[in-house]
């Protein structure tokens, strides 16, 4: 059984923070014993917890529409929405020698982001734009998408997600010259609280040459280009 430590925050402190957007680390707060039990056991436990939540809310789980909901939610949590918590799902970021000596910036735009806010467990939906300048290695385009997907599929804050994408790309490519911009809507803002359906959040992380004014401007200019191919 997992042992849950006492929360450092009391209810009064949680209420004081309210909807303020806080982050504690560039690393996802994952317990050391997170993988001591199997995915199958996690699904069983989450299923029971979801059942308790629905019953507490007053839902009739004998209804045909609701009978399978606890298990569906549990499977979605473990296998899909939060699969990025498990290191076994981390994509292999295979790289290749830059034999054609391409020395300019490579930008992968409009990578779809589906993540979950760790404060309210509501969706974050947006797009990521990732770029790098080769220092002798190149990475497959689909791997950039998969890196974004992997770090998105966990309870997240957008700032951390942006940093994690850059750090993973830097590690794979062996260069600091990586950048990422994410523009996303947070349903914890759009559907509850202030209920502002128009606002979105933009975060950016620039490494190496991308910290230089001209290189950063070049990258941001690429993001303005029309990429519709009708």
Give the pLDDT confidence of 34-60 residue by residue, as tens digits. Answer: 999 999 999 999 999 999 999 999 999
pLDDT value of residue 196: 85
Among 156, 180, 188, 205, which one carries the catalytic annotation?
A: 188
Residue 25 is predicted with a pLDDT of 74
How far apart, in whole angstroms, are the C-alpha atoms of residue 207 and residue 166?
8
Q: What is the pLDDT of residue 222?
A: 97
Catalytic residue among 21, 120, 170, 218: 120
pLDDT in tens, 206-227: 999 999 999 999 999 999 998 7
Q: Looking at residue 194, what is its pLDDT? A: 83
Indicate if 120 belongs to the active site: yes
Nearest of 201, 196, 192, 190 to residue 156 by alpha carbon: 201
Active-site pick, 47, 156, 158, 164: 158
Examine the residue annotation and report whether 118 is marked as an active-site residue of this protein: yes
Q: What is the pLDDT of residues 51-86, one digit of tens each?
A: 999 999 999 999 999 999 999 999 999 999 999 999
Reply yes or no on whether 158 is catalytic. yes
Intra-chain end-to-end CA distance of the chain, in Å:
55
Closest Cα to residue 215, out of 74, 105, 67, 55? 105
Active-site annotation holds for 186: yes
Q: Are 155 and 116 in contact (CB under 8 A)?
A: yes
């Amino acid at each position: 059984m997992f042992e849950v430590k006492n929360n450092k925050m009391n209810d009064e402190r949680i209420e004081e923070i309210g909807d303020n957007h806080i982050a504690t680390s560039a690393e996802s707060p994952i317990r050391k014993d997170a993988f001591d039990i199997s995915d199958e056991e996690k699904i069983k436990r989450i299923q029971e917890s979801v059942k308790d939540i629905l019953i507490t809310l007053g839902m009739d789980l004998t209804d045909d529409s609701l009978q399978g909901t606890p298990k569906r939610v549990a499977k979605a949590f473990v296998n899909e929405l939060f699969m990025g918590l498990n290191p076994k799902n981390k994509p292999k970021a295979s790289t290749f020698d830059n034999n054609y000596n391409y020395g300019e910036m490579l930008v992968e735009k409009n990578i779809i982001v589906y993540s979950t806010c760790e404060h309210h467990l509501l969706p974050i939906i947006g797009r990521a734009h990732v770029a790098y300048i080769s220092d002798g290695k190149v990475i497959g385009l689909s791997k950039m998408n998969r890196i974004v997907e992997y770090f998105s599929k966990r309870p997240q804050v957008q700032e951390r997600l942006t940093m994690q994408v850059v750090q993973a790309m830097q590690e794979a490519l062996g260069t600091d010259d990586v950048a990422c911009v994410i523009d996303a809507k947070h349903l914890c803002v759009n559907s509850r609280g202030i209920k502002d359906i128009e606002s979105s959040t933009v975060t950016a992380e620039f490494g190496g040459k991308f910290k230089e004014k001209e290189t950063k401007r070049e990258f941001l200019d690429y993001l303005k280009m029309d990429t519709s191919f009708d």
